[in-house]
Amino acid sequence: MNEAEQAPGTAARAIAAAVLGHDPGPMTAADSSSHHVYAGPGIVVKVIDAARHRRLDREVALAPHLPAGLTAPLLDSGRYRLGTREFRYACYTRMPGTTPGLDLPGTDDGTARQLAEEAIPRLRELHAWVPAGDAARTLGETLDHGGFTSRAGLFAVIGDLAAADRDGTVPARLLDGLTAIAGHAPARATAAVPVHADCHWGNWLASGPHVTALLDFEWARLGEPADDWFHLTRFSGRHRETVLGIVAEATATAPDALRAAFEVREANYLADDLRLALSRPGAPGPMAADRLHGLEDLITGRSWWRGAR
């Protein structure tokens, strides 16, 4: 590993030492697609080059105001210079547990059920929170989140995807399927309550079957509860139907109403991600292949309706 690659870890150790007032001990890198994340005994440090995206600032602005016990406490945040590089950072108390992971790999049915039953009240607490002041302004800021906002917006994303697909990567039948989903979508989604908007199982911590924290509020915004129920259910792997049923019962919502809401949201995310992937120079990369596979399952496999009675 060269010096440039080592710099985020070096910065994280120095930041942790300053915050703790002593050597932080061993720190290991954690998987993250948006930041450099390092965890040590009692502390987690997220760092990013100062010139990159500003989503960490959003998370830091919200952290002190979120409902108590929902996420890891914020210890410190700011900027740190290392040689010619400047980083933005945030330090959090390290919470007990590990992430269950996207699609709940290796999780048995009973544990999946209990995790969902404990995650849902935490999300409902977030949805019931009434933000004020700086938190309200942060949540209300315009954010390009890729989620469903309106029928017209979804039609526009599909049109942009078709325009970006100059090589015919997306079969016409899949574009037609997206258009059919958009035609049945609600006229608009309401920006009614605070939502995490990325609460898949990779952003939770759990100790055994017990949820301990919800992390990574960098995409949090105002939206509809269904935005969070979608992420929780969609990334439950083979437990998807179980989690959908638990959400339906907890929210007194008909399962088919949830399926329809989730189908619209997945269509929006897949179309928007594919548009981005196909707009980049060069051949379609791994993200395009993954989203195309997801679109095939959504449209041809009718993934949200396979378990419907």
**Do 3-93 and 109-305 show the same overall fold?**
no
Enumerate the domain spans of the chain: 3-93, 109-305
Residues 3-93: name the CATH superfamily.
Phosphorylase Kinase; domain 1 (3.30.200.20)
Contact indicator for 127, 228 with CB cutoff of 8 Å: yes
Domain 109-305 matching CATH 3.40.50.1220: the answer reads no
Q: What is the pTM of this model?
A: 0.95
Alpha-carbon distance values, 293 to 170, 214, 280, 289 (Å): 10, 28, 19, 6
pLDDT in single tens digits along all 309 residues of the chain: 666 788 999 999 999 999 999 999 999 998 888 899 999 999 999 999 999 989 999 999 999 999 999 999 999 999 999 999 999 999 999 999 999 999 999 999 999 999 999 999 999 999 999 999 999 999 999 888 889 999 999 999 999 999 999 999 999 999 999 999 999 999 999 988 999 999 999 999 999 999 999 999 999 999 999 999 999 999 999 999 999 999 999 999 999 999 999 999 999 999 999 999 999 887 678 889 999 999 999 999 999 999 887
Q: Taking each helix axis as running N to C, give the angle between helix 240-251 and helix 225-234, from 0 to 180 degrees, rounded to the nearest 10.
A: 150
Q: Which backbone phi and psi does 223 adopt, to 5 degrees?
A: -165, -150
